[in-house]
Structure 1
Amino acid sequence: MATEWRKTSFQGVRYREHPTRKHGIRPDRYYVITYKLDGKTKTEAVGWASQGIKPAECYELLAEVKRNQRTGTGPRTLEEKRKEAEAARSATKQQAISFEYYFRGHYLPEASRRKNPETILTEEHYARIWIFPALNEKPMAEIHPLDVERIKNSILDAGRAPRTALQALAIFRLVWNHAKKRGLLDRESPTRNIDLPKVNNARTRFFSPDQAEQLLKLIEVDDPAAYRITLAALYTGARFGELAGLTWSGLDLSGKRITFLHTKTGRPRSCPIAKRLCVVLSELNRGNPGDHVFVNRDGKPWRECPSVFRKALKKLGLNEGHTDRRDILVFHSLRHTAASFMMAAGIDPKTIQELFGWSTMQMLARYTHVLDETKHKAVQSLERALEQPSSKIIQFSRGKVLGIK
């Protein structure tokens, strides 16, 4: 390729000719501009004549960078000018990205590497059924509170529970913050500016020891694989997804400890293994570190709650006469049961919080219940105190009771 630089009629604009390639009837020309920057000579390429570059246009570019140098505004070099143009193109492209495009192309691939597969399936389901249709390909940069209200209203108008709306909006907020953290958005999630539906998820029922044992016996006879994951749920208080995702690398039978890597909060946690559960797990053939501990009767990982669990509930009639969803016993009630009995046994709340992986103590209050027997004892103690005429209550000036004599 020729290396001889030739001047044009425009000062500071030069070119060299391609040794073989033609542009029209003459050799193709490669244009550059030369100027001073901070006392040093700088040469920058503009492009080929075959790309539409003309000497006059090169001179205009040269005049622009020189003017910017004098005024101290705008790009001082072609390189800076190109970077600004690329940033503008990128910003325009980002502004046009829809929620669905970002969810599928950016959020989902990254989240799938760190979240439980069951969680990913749930998030994808809510986004596909409720969020995408309500936003209708609207660019994320143009989404405002009214659009989020549309998501909420579409769920409630369909007769779904407020909890469903809250879940959908929580997923929207997760994806929005994911995009904001990566520089695509520069404002807070519009979910902050709408009224969220109020939900009371506190469960009012859980299994008694007799009910739990009857349930386990029925399941064990029908499906030993379902029995194992049900027993584990009762004796660890783990969520179904955490147990379904447990691999042999997280099970230490010699140390009697289970470590859940894929948790709802994203933070691994471990808990001791009860003797009864340890015996059952010891009977299994240990798999490879990445193999699932709990598999169904076909040897495949669990994808949903065992059907025999629901059949056993129905056979025992444990949900008969109960219509409020908070009163219905489900697989997750095993977790409530475990937390409730620990609480009734006097285990301190902080320990229960850590064992069950709750991020706040408020979550513990939602999931625990005081046993009826404990309630009766509390009322009986009050009754005994009130029925003793000679009882004397010692009280501090601030209203705190010290004791009864």
Structure 2
Amino acid sequence: MLTEAIHGKKAVATFDEAANSYLENGGSDRFLGSFDEETGKWTGLMSHLVGVPLKDITQARMNEIGKALYPNVRPDTLNRQLWTPFIAIWSHAERMDWAQPKRWIRPKTPKGTNVESFGPKRVGSYPVHYNVAWEFIKGLGVANATVFTILFYSGMRPIELFTMDTSQVNVKNRWITLPKSKIGEPRGVPIHEALVPMLTDMVKNRPGRLVRTSDNEPFTIFDNAGGQMKTAIIAARLRTRIFDVAPYTARHTVSTQLVVEGVHPHKKDQILGHSADDMSRHYTHVPQDPLIEAINKLPTIQEWLGQDWMREPVKHVGRWAKPLKKAEREAGLEAFKAWAAGRVAA
């Protein structure tokens, strides 16, 4: 207490204090680890940082923790399971004035054709063409098709969409306000013109949670990772014979397509929520024309835009996908086996 009184909270705040404050303010506990009541010990990231002052955490220390917790994993796995939760807590500590701002170095995926591959990429970690996305969406019921459509034309993280309310959508000015992103920062998301009819109907006729299940109920969130879509996605894969589309595919697709369309990297990062300087935080609620112009460069497919549920998603939310017949299921499973075998061989 004396040290804190003299030198301030930055001199004494520990990582677990920051983590607890982060969780109390709505942060996710995913990948932080769990506490064993019998042994009185933590697992995961917390096992390495409980009681450690924030001022003593260095890049070298975090690199060593990464090697200890996740040896021989891909850079994207290490980012997702170590660096994303850690930086979210550190950013919270900065806002509380408990920690000095730091620029942490995340692992990067190796570039070049001579990089050794350790197996096929995880589904959802790479982009697809928009025509492939549409063919897959045809295999979904309206509720899930709506979710995928918004993701493919916004680049939002699935968790951001699942927890959104219609009050956050300003259709007139083409802007969505997210008070808290995955890393705890507020951000704004431009609305693609293709989503205008859909979002207009949702805002007008569906107060509360923006996206709903086919029973017109909010999606249940499981471990901060979405929910209630797994069965529908599996069935859609069997119907369409497209096996490499998942909710997170949309985010990678938007990112890649913006690059293809020549959008400046800074604008792309702002759209995806990668860029959060003091200025962008200050204007989270203010629609930004350059970002709206950029998101509208994403390609559209007329058949997709012409669906009745694109105009009236609330009215058609209860429409299920056509049930799979036994022969279709068996044929789909055979196609999946061939696809999976080809990935392993590659």
TM-score normalised over the length of structure 1: 0.48
Unaligned runs of 5+ in 1: 1-85, 113-119, 320-327, 361-370, 372-405
Q: Report if the CA contact (8 A) 2:75-2:107 is conserved.
A: yes
Aligned to 1:125: 30
Distance 1:353 1:217 in 2: 30
Are positions 1:312 and 2:236 aligned together? yes
CA contact (8 A) 1:130 1:151 kept: no
- 1:292 shift after superposition: 1.2
Matching residue within 191, 194, 199 for 2:109: 199
DSSP-derived class of the 1:218 partner: coil
Asked whether the 8 Å contact 1:256–1:278 carries over to 2, the reply is no
SS of equivalent to 1:259: strand
1:296 to 1:152, Cα distance in 2 relative to 1, 3 A: same
Contact kept, 8 Å, 2:3 with 2:12, in 1: the verdict is no
SS at match of 2:32: helix
Radius of gyration: which is bigger?
1
Secondary structure of 1:127's aligned partner: coil
Corresponding residue number in structure 1 for 2:79: 166
- 1:141: Cα distance to partner? 5.8
What amino acid is the match of 1:243? L
- Whether the aligned pair in 1 keeps the contact of 2:188 and 2:271 (CA below 8 Å) is yes
**How far, CA to CA, are the matches of 1:160 and 1:231 in structure 2?**
31
Aligned-partner residue type, residue 2 of structure 2: A
- Distance of aligned partners of 1:257 and 1:161 in 2 relative to their CA distance in 1, 3 Å threshold: same
Corresponding residue for residue 152 of structure 2: 234
Structure 1 residue aligned with 2:212, among 295, 305, 312?
A: 295
Q: Which residue of 2 aligns with 1:154?
A: 68
State the shift of 1:296 in Å.
2.2
Query: Which SS does the other structure have where 1:212 is aligned?
Result: helix
Of 299-308 and 227-236, more deviation after overlay is shown by: 299-308
Q: Distance in 2 between matches of 1:301 and 1:233?
A: 15
Amino acid corresponding to residue 359 of structure 1 in structure 2: S
Higher relative contact order (CA 8 A, sep 6+): 2
Deviation at 1:205, TM superposition (A): 5.1
Query: Contact 1:342 / 1:352 at 8 angstroms: preserved in 2?
Result: yes
Shift of 1:230: 0.9
Larger strand proportion of the pair: 1
Query: How far apart, in 1, do the equivalents of 2:267 and 2:101 lie?
Result: 35
2:269 corresponds to 1:359: no
Q: Is the 8 A contact 2:155 2:250 kept in 1?
A: yes
Q: 1:260 aligns with which of 151, 158, 177?
A: 177
For residue 218 of structure 1, what is the aligned residue in structure 2?
139
**Where do 5+ consecutive residues of structure 2 fail to align?**
34-42, 112-120, 277-298, 300-346
Aligned with residue 250 of structure 2, among 334, 339, 347:
334
Question: How many residues are treated as equivalent by the alignment?
Answer: 245
Cα deviation for residue 350 of structure 1 reads 6.2
Alpha-carbon shift at residue 335 of structure 1 (Å): 2.8
Mean Cα displacement is larger for which, 130-139 or 198-207?
A: 198-207
Map residues 7-46 of structure 1 onto 2, 5 A cutoff: none
Query: Structure 1 residue 295: deviation in Å?
Result: 2.0
Q: Distance in 1 between matches of 2:233 and 2:218?
A: 17
Matched, 1:286 2:210: no
- State the Cα distance separating 1:218 from its structure 2 match: 0.8
Shift of 1:228: 0.9
Distance verdict in 2 for CA 1:161–1:287, change over 3 Å: same
| Alignment of structure 1 residues 106-117 onto 2, 5 Å | 106-110=21-25, 112=26
SS at match of 2:31: helix
Residue by residue over 1:139-160, the C-alpha shift from the partner in whole angstroms, topping out at 9 and shown as x without a partner, is: 5566566753442122223x54
Deviations 1:115-158, CA, capped at 9 Å, x for gaps: xxxxx22xx2222252112235445566566753442122223x
Question: Kindly tell me: are residues 145 and 331 of structure 1, through their superposed partners in 2, closer, same or farther at Cα, counting changes over 3 Å?
Answer: closer
The one-character-per-residue Cα deviations of 1:11-68 (angstroms, maximum 9, x if unpaired) are: xxxxxxxxxxxxxxxxxxxxxxxxxxxxxxxxxxxxxxxxxxxxxxxxxxxxxxxxxx
Q: Deviation per CA, 1:232-257: give whole Å up to 9, x if none.
A: 1122333212322321112244x272
Mapped contact 1:259–1:271 kept (Cα < 8 A): yes
3-state secondary structure, aligned to 1:236: coil
Task: State the secondary structure of the residue aligned to 2:190.
Answer: strand
- Equivalent residue for 2:16, pick from 72, 92, 100: 100
Q: Aligned-pair distance for 1:103?
A: 1.4
